[in-house]
Amino acid sequence: MLVKLSSAALKQTHGYEYAVRFALGGLVTVAAGLIGSHFGVAIGGLFLALPAIFCASATLIESHERRAKEKAGLSGRRRGQQAAALDAAGAGLGSIGLAAFAAAFYVVISASIIGAFVSAILAWALVSVSAWWLRRKLRTTSDHAGAEHGVRSARG
């Protein structure tokens, strides 16, 4: 499955789906605030690190992909699951980048606010791109190794 940017996807999304995304995102943020007020900001911050929109977007991505395949007369269940899984993998890689952002910001903030933001953004970009590249490289390597041993990959 290739990852690509398409403005056509914006036209496929209904208004209520955006409302669901924003509502769930808001609920996750409020829940993190409540947790933070009860257990302290350090614990609340951990819950804010959850990509608030992910909960809604994974289900919406799955339903869009499933509907698109069913419209073509095919079963779209597997395709929807794969698309949601790809989104989850991206969210995981983004979370690793977010942790690098937080660590760099924490280390540099006492010296310079602007320096902290610049170093944190650079750390996020470097770690996120490196994690994506490493995942792609390991997946490609494992696919080739499986093919050599007669094992068929899930991507077919």
Torsion sign, CA atoms 93, 94, 99, 101: positive
**Distant-in-sequence, close-in-space partners of 124: CB < 8 Å, separation ≥ 6:** 97, 98, 100, 101, 104
pLDDT in the model for residue 121 = 96
Mean pLDDT by 10 residues, the chain (156 residues): 65 75 80 89 74 70 78 77 81 86 94 96 94 86 61 49
State the DSSP H helix or E strand holding residue 53, giving kind and residue range, or none if neither: none
State the DSSP H helix or E strand holding residue 104, giving kind and residue range, or none if neither: helix 77-108
**Distant-in-sequence, close-in-space partners of 86: CB < 8 Å, separation ≥ 6:** 1, 3
pLDDT in the model for residue 156 = 44
| Single-letter residue type at 74 | L
